[in-house]
Amino acid sequence: MSSYRIQGATGEWEVVIGLEVHAQVTSKAKLFSGASTEFGAEPNSQVSLVDAAMPGMLPILNKECVRQAVRTGMALEAQINRFSRFDRKNYFYADLPQGYQISQLYHPIVGEGQIEILLDEKDESSAKTVGIERIHIEQDAGKLMHDQHPSFSYVDLNRSGVALMEIVSKPDMRSPEEAGAYVRKLRSILRYVGSCDGNMEQGSMRADVNVSVRKPGQPFGTRTETKNVNSVRFIMAAIEYEANRQVDVLEGGGSIVQETRLFDPDKGETRSLRSKEDAHDYRYFPDPDLLPLELEDAFLEDCRASLPELPDAKRRRYENELGLPAYNAAVLTAEVETARWFEALLAALPSQELARQASNWVIGDLFGALNRLGKGIEGSPVTPAQGAQLLGLVADGTISGSLAKQVFEIMLETGQDPSVIVEERGLKQTSDTGAIEKVIADVLAANAEKVAEYRSGKDKLFGFFVGQTMKAMQGKGNPAVVNELLKKALA
């Protein structure tokens, strides 16, 4: 694993990172009310009396949110706590009409677990395990809008009461790259599980970034916590900036104060927001409106049975059962949409022997085209079935690999099936030895000097003759047959 170090005047410093990721739970309704969680609605159009904290309203726990948190815990190989409880975290802020957030401090629903990250996709030995401390469920607050009017601020309570999972890592990461790999892997697992859409731009996943520095081998230093960072790039930049700032402070003879900071994406800097509050500042106590949560065996079994094959298991299966190279397996399983597309392609292939070619085609040709078009795999103009048909046409010798590239370009433009394109445009490859021999005879006659050079030992010219023959046949000669007949003719 990489060893990331900051070089200071007094020697090398190591960075210690722990992340608290807030992930919005995928559910139709909020954690304690029936209001919708749909993104992008008119402000304050999805607010029940419970979310607005009208006096006398009582919360009713949404079972689906509990189920999603348990499934997430299982996917992170974590301890599931059959007994958990909700606590009130008391504070005042204009986006929090209740005056407290319902959360789980003392008895979270999920305990210790782990995530395996790969720093280099090509290399299993770059794997590292990052510990998960706990996952608890809690309510989101509303949103303040300050820039709508010069002298007013507005509050939108649509988000108020939406269920969040707070996924707390151990302080196990040691570089911005490790933190980036951790967040990407966590997001990938959440998307596989379907418990959070992982959409960081819409705020469905955001991280509090805890950073400290120390001389290697020394005890952990004092940490700062940078709140609500909402992209992988910003998380990495915040760590980089904050670690260097702390080294400067310490080397200048100062000390780090435990505090809450904000990241400014425009400047790439963090700045102090407030001194860090401790749990006792919030006067946590068990919420008297909610009973403790006790999970039954049948519920846990149902959660486990509903889990899909997860990215690590899938990656290993692609390598061991399909025989894919490690890199291909890692790339194709990194995002659930890619894996789904690839598996639909596999299902449509004439033979599973073609899995490896198929993986190369997806990563090379398809990803290349999608990149050019600025599209994700879900927006691919070519369907998995069409991709499978194209690979089948190459495998059965109907078209050569180079013709396949031409056909693919036409598929991208027209959306037609490859078999139709090959038929209509007469792009079939020919293995007709008579026809090929005739073309070869013409090529050799037109290049008598080169033929003489070849025969006197300039072997490298063979490729030239192949190229000329293929060109004369507009790419339609079967390459194996062309090679064989050329060897004979030149002998």
| Site residues (vs ligand ADP, CB under 6 A) | 16-20, 168-171, 210-212, 220, 223, 225
Footprint on residues 197-226 left by Mg ion (CB under 5 A): 208
Q: Which is nearer to Mg ion, 208 or 287 (CB)?
A: 208
- Judge whether 487 and 440 are in contact, CB under 8 Å: no
The option from Mg ion, ligand ADP, none interacting with 16 (CB < 5 to 8 A, set by class) reads ligand ADP
The option from ligand ADP, Mg ion, none interacting with 210 (CB < 5 to 8 A, set by class) reads ligand ADP
**Mode of pairing for the β-strands spanning 259-264 and 224-229:** parallel
Element (H, E) at 414: helix 401-414
**Token output for 149:** 């009017």
**Mode of pairing for the β-strands spanning 143-145 and 154-156:** antiparallel
Instruction: Please state the closest distance from residue 224 (CB atom) to Mg ion, in A.
Output: 11
* Backbone phi, psi, residue 136, to 5°: -125, 160
The option from ligand ADP, Mg ion, none interacting with 80 (CB < 5 to 8 A, set by class) reads none
The option from ligand ADP, Mg ion, none interacting with 386 (CB < 5 to 8 A, set by class) reads none
Instruction: Please state the closest distance from residue 136 (CB atom) to Mg ion, in A.
Output: 12
Distance CA 399, CA 401 (A): 7
Task: For residue 306, count other CB atoms closer than 10 A to its CB.
Answer: 13
Sign, Cα dihedral of 316, 321, 326, 329? negative
Q: Which is nearer to ligand ADP, 153 or 218 (CB)?
A: 218
Instruction: Please state the closest distance from residue 379 (CB atom) to ligand ADP, in A.
Output: 36
Instruction: Please state the closest distance from residue 226 (CB atom) to ligand ADP, in A.
Output: 11
Q: Which is nearer to ligand ADP, 156 or 225 (CB)?
A: 225
Residues near Mg ion (CB under 5 A), total: 2
Instruction: Please state the closest distance from residue 200 (CB atom) to ligand ADP, in A.
Output: 18
Residues 6 or more apart whose Cβ sits within 8 Å of residue 246: 211, 212, 213, 221, 224, 256
Residues 6 or more apart whose Cβ sits within 8 Å of residue 212: 15, 16, 171, 220, 221, 222, 223, 224, 246, 256
Footprint on residues 379-438 left by Mg ion (CB under 5 A): none
Distance CA 250, CA 489 (A): 78
Distance CA 149, CA 298 (A): 53
The option from Mg ion, ligand ADP, none interacting with 170 (CB < 5 to 8 A, set by class) reads ligand ADP
Q: Which residue is nearest to ligand ADP (CB)?
A: 18
The option from Mg ion, ligand ADP, none interacting with 19 (CB < 5 to 8 A, set by class) reads ligand ADP
Instruction: Please state the closest distance from residue 171 (CB atom) to ligand ADP, in A.
Output: 4
The option from ligand ADP, Mg ion, none interacting with 138 (CB < 5 to 8 A, set by class) reads none
Q: Which is nearer to ligand ADP, 111 or 381 (CB)?
A: 111
Instruction: Please state the closest distance from residue 342 (CB atom) to ligand ADP, in A.
Output: 34
Q: Which is nearer to Mg ion, 20 or 312 (CB)?
A: 20
Q: Which is nearer to Mg ion, 77 or 259 (CB)?
A: 259
- Judge whether 213 and 10 are in contact, CB under 8 Å: no
What is the amino acid identity at position 471?
K
Instruction: Please state the closest distance from residue 92 (CB atom) to ligand ADP, in A.
Output: 18
**Token output for 127:** 């794997």
Sign, Cα dihedral of 153, 159, 160, 165? negative
Instruction: Please state the closest distance from residue 277 (CB atom) to ligand ADP, in A.
Output: 8
Q: Which is nearer to ligand ADP, 17 or 394 (CB)?
A: 17
Q: Which is nearer to ligand ADP, 66 or 168 (CB)?
A: 168
Q: Which is nearer to ligand ADP, 62 or 169 (CB)?
A: 169
* Backbone phi, psi, residue 131, to 5°: -75, 145
The option from ligand ADP, Mg ion, none interacting with 121 (CB < 5 to 8 A, set by class) reads none
Comparing CA positions, the residue from 104, 101, 83 lying closest to residue 92 is 101
Distance CA 245, CA 452 (A): 72
The option from Mg ion, ligand ADP, none interacting with 381 (CB < 5 to 8 A, set by class) reads none
Q: Enumerate binding residues for Mg ion (CB under 5 A).
A: 20, 208
